[in-house]
Amino acid sequence: MRERLAALAPQRLEIADDSAKHAGHAGAKEGGHYRLLIVSPRFAGCATMQRHRLIYEALGPMMRGEIHALSIRALTPEESD
């Protein structure tokens, strides 16, 4: 995940694996549940959906396999202050 998200030049990147909280959930068998905080100048001028699309594109096939659920907080450096 970190390698793929590096394409967005993050100044801050925090990934939390919340999969254990979802044990027994049918979808949890297919992939993990993650929380993401990413701060990048690439998000400047982008609406929330655009930021999420950039992240989904960077993660590529991981979104169809290794990742079942992803909670995203995507900020510009100015927003993270």
Residue 36, both tokens? 């993401």
Average pLDDT rounded to a whole number, residues 1-18: 96
Q: What pLDDT, in 10s, does the model give residues 34-79?
A: 999 999 999 999 999 999 999 999 999 998 888 888 999 999 999 9
Looking at domain 2-33+43-80, its CATH class is alpha beta
Residue 41, both tokens? 């100048």
- What is the reported pTM? 0.85
Provide the pLDDT for residue 29: 54
Give the three-class secondary structure for 14.
strand
Diameter of the chain by CA atoms? 40
Q: Select the more confidently predicted residue: 74 or 20.
A: 74
**Domain map (residue ranges) of the chain:** 2-33+43-80
Q: Select the more confidently predicted residue: 79 or 31.
A: 79
